[in-house]
Structure 1
Amino acid sequence: MQTKKTYTVQEATQKMEHYCAYQERCHQEVRQKLEAMHMIPEAIDVIVVHLLEHNYLNESRYAKTFVSGKFRIKKWGRGRMAYVLKQKGLSKININEALAEISDAEYIEVFHGLAEKKANSIKESNVFKKRKKLIDYLLYRGWESHLVYEKASELIR
């Protein structure tokens, strides 16, 4: 029989401070971690309030960091970033504020670079299949459909 480790509120709070200091976290991730540690709901609420008061948890900061990373590193479009943040339980205000951090010029520049790179890498002789692969790739990454279809028509004739 395996016994599960139990934590005092003090120990769990300290653990969560380290967890949040290491990397930006959203409320949902912290709650899931605490539930995995078998903490009771009252203790979870106390710990989350402590983390908020001491600025370990900040949804606005989390959203901005998330958007910045996914856009610059993974080259996701606004659609996918907004969808994932919504899944994580962030407010519409925080999501829109974070997405507004990306300048339109930079957004379009990254989109064109990604589309051209992908179009050149698709090894398909059938024009329609090639265009479909490019469109599917860009839509999956969350780019707006009007941009995707325009660019696909421009690149693959």
Structure 2
Amino acid sequence: MKEYTENELRTKAEAYCAKTERCPMEVEQKLGQWGADEEMKARILASLEKDRFIDTARYCKAFVRDKYRFARWGRNKIVQALRLKRLPPEDIRAGLEEIDEDEYSRMLREVLAQKEKQVTGRNDYECAMKLIRFAVSRGFTLDEVKRYIHQASDDAYLD
């Protein structure tokens, strides 16, 4: 494996961060793979943060937008993923503000309606439990899911 100077590593890290938003933990891991020691990692990370190649608040906002719009994750799963990346709680909270409540509710309804077509059970209760387990595993809160299932069953009686 080639040994890199600190400047070469900084340049590689800048290019790595320029491609897409990165969190400090991802960059630190990549620097480790490239052969940087702990002191060098700290200096390079500080430099990247100073030059705004890394910005945890910006990263959290982008992560939240991507995960709830494209991966269709709920809040809980998003928060858990951000915590695993060791990001500051205040940046996580700021990131969650990116969620548009109407869009989020609509997305939850769509995800559950789509899953509802695939769910089979002996009775309505069993089907509802399967939907709840599915949605909670996607990171939605139990209250959010119950609210949707309750609305859906009310709507069914209106037909």
Normalised by the length of structure 1, the TM-score is 0.90
Cα 1:13–1:7 change in 2 (3 A) is same
Identify which of 76, 81, 84 aligns with 1:79: 76
Once the two structures are TM-superposed, the CA of residue 125 in structure 1 deviates from its matched residue by: 4.5
Q: Which runs of 5+ in 1 are unaligned?
A: none
Identify which of 47, 59, 64 aligns with 1:50: 47
Normalised by the length of structure 2, the TM-score is 0.89
Identify which of 90, 93, 98 aligns with 1:93: 90
Once the two structures are TM-superposed, the CA of residue 32 in structure 1 deviates from its matched residue by: 0.8
Identify which of 6, 17, 21 aligns with 1:20: 17
Once the two structures are TM-superposed, the CA of residue 153 in structure 1 deviates from its matched residue by: 4.3
In structure 2, C-alpha distance between the alignment counterparts of 1:106 and 1:96, rounded to whole Å: 18
Match of 2:31 in 1: 34
Deviations 1:75-110 (A, max 9, x none): 111111111101101111111111012122222121
In structure 1, C-alpha distance between the alignment counterparts of 2:124 and 2:101, rounded to whole Å: 30
Once the two structures are TM-superposed, the CA of residue 154 in structure 1 deviates from its matched residue by: 4.5
Deviations 1:32-75 (A, max 9, x none): 11112221111111111111111100001100000000011011
In structure 1, C-alpha distance between the alignment counterparts of 2:4 and 2:22, rounded to whole Å: 21
Q: Is 30-39 or 13-22 further displaced after alignment?
A: 30-39
Match of 2:108 in 1: 111
Once the two structures are TM-superposed, the CA of residue 123 in structure 1 deviates from its matched residue by: 3.7
Once the two structures are TM-superposed, the CA of residue 27 in structure 1 deviates from its matched residue by: 0.5
In structure 1, C-alpha distance between the alignment counterparts of 2:123 and 2:4, rounded to whole Å: 61
Q: Which runs of 5+ in 2 are unaligned?
A: none
Q: Is 133-142 or 145-154 further displaced after alignment?
A: 145-154
